[in-house]
Amino acid sequence: GAVVSQHPSWVICKSGTSVKIECRSLDFQATTMFWYRQFPKQSLMLMATSNEGSKATYEQGVEKDKFLINHASLTLSTLTVTSAHPEDSSFYICSASGGKAEQYFGPGTRLTVT
Amino acid sequence: QKEVEQNSGPLSVPEGAIASLNCTYSDRGSQSFFWYRQYSGKSPELIMFIYSNGDKEDGRFTAQLNKASQYVSLLIRDSQPSDSATYLCAVEVGGTSYGKLTFGQGTILTVHP
């Protein structure tokens, strides 16, 4: 149980384009989903928290107009990186919780912006 | 002071030994504590969670929590080379933060044959 998928697993895009990453909870209803970013040899950095049907809550320093988050259903959240730049290259990981404190992570999406 | 701090590591233990990973946290309102394992290039995997003071055992893993000392630890018995990974301590932020977690910087564990 508690399986979370992400798509795509890796993506390469050109600078200035937008990329959408999907996060799905496969066997439970995710009332809350979280988006993290992780740079090499660093710990996870929470970007935003989203609840189904509500606007996402962004962490300080995260540009909400650049990282668009939609949590349209209890099993799907999307992160869109708009006008991507090379410094946005990172490992993006979503997690989901079903009303309890435990978070289950997706496999992550490795984004490279050229 | 960091909100969640782990022993710096890296930690190296021989196969079959006990690995001890430690974590302290600053928010006295925190009620939920987690240990995640992260292999290189992969996302974190939940291996233990603990909510009450004392010990919680699951197979070779034991989590220990002492809220008075604001301390949580993870013991891995009979360590195997496959346990080699980065271990992340995570603490739920107190108050109404929708289950938001604060992560420690991680401890790299190497189990050598």
Residue B97 has pLDDT above 70, yes or no: no
Average pLDDT over residues B83-110: 87
CA of residue B75 relative to chain centroid, distance: 9
Which residues in chain A have Cβ-Cβ distances shorter than 8 Å to B103?
43-44
> A with B: how many residue pairs have Cβ under 8 Å apart?
51
Condensed to tens digits (0 to 9), the pLDDT of residues A26-71 reads: 999 988 999 999 998 888 999 999 988 888 999 999 999 999 999 8
CA distance A108 to B6: 24
Residues A62, A64, A66, A69: is their CA dihedral positive or negative?
Answer: positive
CB pair distance less than 8 Å for B100 and A44: no
Tokens 């000392």 correspond to what residue?
Answer: B69
* Sheet architecture: strand order including B61-66: B4-6, B19-25, B71-76, B61-66, B54-58
Picking from B46, B100, B104, the nearest residue to A104 by CB comes out as B46
Q: Which residue of B has its CA nearest to A108?
A: B43
Condensed to tens digits (0 to 9), the pLDDT of residues B34-60 reads: 999 999 999 999 999 999 999 999 999
CB pair distance less than 8 Å for B32 and A44: no
Supply the pLDDT for residue A72: 83
Q: Which residue of B has its CA nearest to A52?
A: B98
Residue A25 has pLDDT above 80, yes or no: yes
Question: Testing the interface with A: which of B23, B43, B105 to mutate, by most A Cβ within 10 A?
Answer: B43
Tell me the CB-side half-sphere exposure of residue B4, using CA atoms within 13 A: 25
Structure tokens at B72: 């949580």
Q: How confident is the model at residue B100 (pLDDT cuts 50, 70, 90)?
A: confident
Average pLDDT over residues A79-106: 93
